């Protein structure tokens, strides 16, 4: 499709706890949708983290926020944005 791009943000650090990551569109494009990838890493337990937020936080930015569960110990999150010409 002309004018559409799919962007990924920088993956979060590994480990447990809360994480917030973003994916931003190139200059002149607007984010119209987004998503995330959660990678459970070695020693990460069997419980995935909770998704607290998955939303547009600026016209060109999609944000994902997570919080580790009781037995979540090692994971990484990447945010993605679907961008169109603005």
pLDDT tens string 13-70: 998 899 999 999 999 999 999 999 999 988 767 788 999 999 999 999 999 999 988 8
Q: Please tell me whether the overall predicted TM-score, pTM, comes out greater than 0.85 for this model.
A: yes
pLDDT at res. 8: 97
β-strand pairing of 75-85 with 4-8: antiparallel
User: Mind giving me the DSSP string for 42-69?
Assistant: TT--SPPPEEEEEEEEETTEEEEEEE--
pLDDT at res. 1: 64
Average pLDDT value for the chain? 92
Query: What is the rounded CA–CA span in Å between residue 5 and residue 30?
Result: 10
């Amino acid at each position: 499709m002309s004018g559409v791009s799919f962007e990924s943000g920088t993956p979060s650090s590994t480990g447990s706890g809360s994480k917030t990551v973003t994916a931003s569109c190139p200059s002149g494009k607007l984010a119209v949708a987004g998503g995330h990838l959660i990678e459970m890493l070695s020693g990460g337990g069997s419980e995935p983290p909770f998704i607290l937020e998955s939303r547009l936080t600026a016209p060109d930015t999609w944000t994902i926020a997570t919080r580790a569960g009781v037995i979540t110990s090692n994971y990484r999150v990447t945010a993605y944005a679907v961008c169109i010409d603005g």
